[in-house]
Amino acid sequence: MENISPRQHQILALSRQLGSVAVDDLAQRFDVTPQTIRKDLNELCDLKLLSRTHGGAMLTSGVENLAYEARRLMAATEKVVIGRQAASLIPNNCSLFINIGTTTEEVARALVHHEGLLVITNNIHVATILMSRPKIEVIVAGGVLRRSDGGIVGEAAADFITQFKVDHAVIGASALDDDGAMLDFDYREVRVAKAIMQNARNVMLVADATKFTRTAPVRIGHLSDVDVFVTDQSPPEPVITYCRDNGVRLEIADGATVNEHAMDAAE
């Protein structure tokens, strides 16, 4: 990226840390005019490094994920609602995988009052959320601990997962393409995610609407591999079509399913 300025490098770094940046904040930080910042953002967007938002820009594509804290704060309210909706679909007295992700962590928080659960996870935060619950047994996968977000990844974690066959799996994704591809950034994480999907009887994808506008380089799988997709907004029409054609139960996080009305609208 030698063709971008030092200030633009700093703007990109802030975007990775915060998830999004605002024109006025950047103008004050760099002591330049808002017009100068808009020019910087437009040039970064032309290079497909950022995407413009109202009053600023956000990092929506590339080969590097946002910092964990930025991901946790982005669409935080929506993730809570998604977590509650997803948890309502998981019965007591069952076994499940919970994968890495800030949205899957909200599912774990919403499961704390469930009973008789056996939870296998490669997410340290999920284990921490559930470990004090006397009626939930937690098994943590072994493997390489990714310090950036508490995820356990790699070959050892994937092999560990294959020891189990569970009732439900809760997985996340960093991006969802219009062609139905579920994408992520770390191939080590993706290998574990694939093992989780292959060893669960029912697979639930949880992802907020920002994932419809992001891209990532590594393929987890396809929507056709999923049984239930819980999100907070009606997806783009091609995604609705893929769900309908592949028998994926599509739920909006306020509790309303779109199987009957949004999917009909896509026909």
pLDDT at residue 54, rounded to an integer:
84
Least confident segment among 12-26, 68-82, 175-189, 194-208:
68-82
CA angle 237, 241, 247 (to 5 degrees): 145
Higher pLDDT, residue 67 or 23:
23
Asked whether the beta carbons of 44 and 11 are under 8 A apart, the reply is yes
Q: Is 261's pLDDT higher than 50?
A: no
Instruction: Name which of 169, 166, 242, 180 is nearest 211 in CA terms.
Output: 180
For 13, phi and psi rounded to 5 degrees? -60, -40
Q: If you average pLDDT over every residue of the chain, what do you get?
A: 88
Task: Identify the residue with better confidence: 267 or 82.
Answer: 82
The two most distant CA atoms of the chain are separated, in Å, by 59
Q: Which two tokens stand for residue 242?
A: 């893929």
The domains of the chain are located at 6-59, 70-266
| 3-class DSSP assignment, residue 107 | helix
What pLDDT score does 62 carry?
57
**From the CB of residue 179, how many other CB atoms can be counted at a distance below 10 Å?**
10
CA–CA distance from 22 to each of 38, 49, 103, 217, 265 (Å)? 10, 15, 25, 26, 36
Question: Is the pTM for the entire model greater than 0.85?
Answer: no
**Residue 250 CB-density burial (10 A; 0-12 exposed, 13-18 middle, 19+ buried):** buried
pLDDT for residue 253 is more than 60: yes
Fold for the domain defined by 70-266? Rossmann fold (3.40.50)
| Confidence grade of residue 70 (pLDDT, cut at 50, 70, 90) | low
Task: Specify the residue for token string 């703007």.
Answer: 11
Phi, psi of 190 (to 5 degrees): -65, -40
Which residues, at least 6 apart from 182, have a Cβ–Cβ distance to it below 8 Å?
A: 173, 175, 176, 205, 219, 220, 221, 222, 223, 225, 226
Q: Does 45 have pLDDT greater than 90?
A: no
Question: In terms of Cα–Cα distance, which of 202, 122, 183 is closest to 158?
Answer: 122
Residue 29 confidence (pLDDT): 95
Choosing among 1.10.10.10, 2.40.30.10, 2.60.40.420, 3.50.50.60, the CATH entry for 6-59 is: 1.10.10.10
The 10s digit of each residue's pLDDT in 161-171 is: 999 999 999 99
With 70 as the cut, is the pLDDT of residue 263 above it?
A: no
Q: Which pLDDT score is estimated for 254?
A: 76
pLDDT at 126 over 90: yes
Q: Residue 258: what pLDDT?
A: 43
